[in-house]
Structure 1
């Protein structure tokens, strides 16, 4: 059985892996339906034929043409070296500005279950889960 662990909001996983991730069309559906251009403007899209764009003007009808989704890009479609929704508050904790609708790759990442040794050694939540 996989151990359950609470994130301590240190931000280390977002700092190391919170950008340059590949997306899935299912992430885009609620963002399109809810007109979340604030998110879609930072999503790199490659369509059939190789055309590239951000997700800003993407429609549900376009999803069948999507061949690749990249998180996170700037307004010109260039890859960012950070997540634009990462926020370190005055309390020292890191918060996701799109937590309620963040992509599956972020939701599913649990370093204490991943066995990623170089990261796990620095994760405070991983250290509290060590026997």
Structure 2
């Protein structure tokens, strides 16, 4: 049993209660990136910063990310930059939506898609 638990922890499937930093795998951005809403604070922040590139990807109901040319929802976040198979970076990290900043929430038991406990 000890060997199985060690393997699960090594593969980031099972973690203790200790907080771990984001692995930067990009799975959450790929899975949820097309099903997010901008908060009022997001919209205000982006307007103040002149981020028309971000505002153009918000529909009239506040859903993000939509294609600015056809208004159709994107499948995943268009600002995710994949480095390799295991790593991705957020190209708008400093101004990313509050919903992204808050992930994973208590509703996710503070665990990301890979099962890693994040504070």
- Specify whether residues 92 and 69 from structure 1 end up closer, same or farther in structure 2 by C-alpha distance, changes over 3 A only: same
Q: Distance in 2 between matches of 1:112 and 1:6?
A: 16
Q: CA deviation at 1:25?
A: 1.0
Residue 79 of structure 1: aligned partner:
73
Residue 43 of structure 1: aligned partner:
58
What's the RMSD between the two structures over aligned residues? Answer: 2.7
**TM-score when normalising by structure 2:** 0.71
Q: CA deviation at 1:33?
A: 1.0
Q: CA deviation at 1:3?
A: 5.0
Q: CA deviation at 1:36?
A: 0.5
Contact 2:30 2:75 in 1 (8 A): no
Residues 1:105 and 2:107 are matched in the alignment:
no
> Unpaired runs of 5+ in structure 2?
1-16
Q: Relative to total residues, which structure has the larger strand share, 1 or 2?
A: 1
Q: Distance in 2 between matches of 1:78 and 1:16?
A: 17
Q: Relative to total residues, which structure has the larger helix share, 1 or 2?
A: 1
Aligned mate of 2:31, from 5, 10, 16: 16
Q: Distance in 2 between matches of 1:94 and 1:111?
A: 21
Residues 1:115 and 2:109 are matched in the alignment:
yes
Equivalent pairs counted in the alignment come to 100
Q: CA deviation at 1:110?
A: 2.1
Contact 1:3 1:113 in 2 (8 A): no
> Unpaired runs of 5+ in structure 1?
46-67
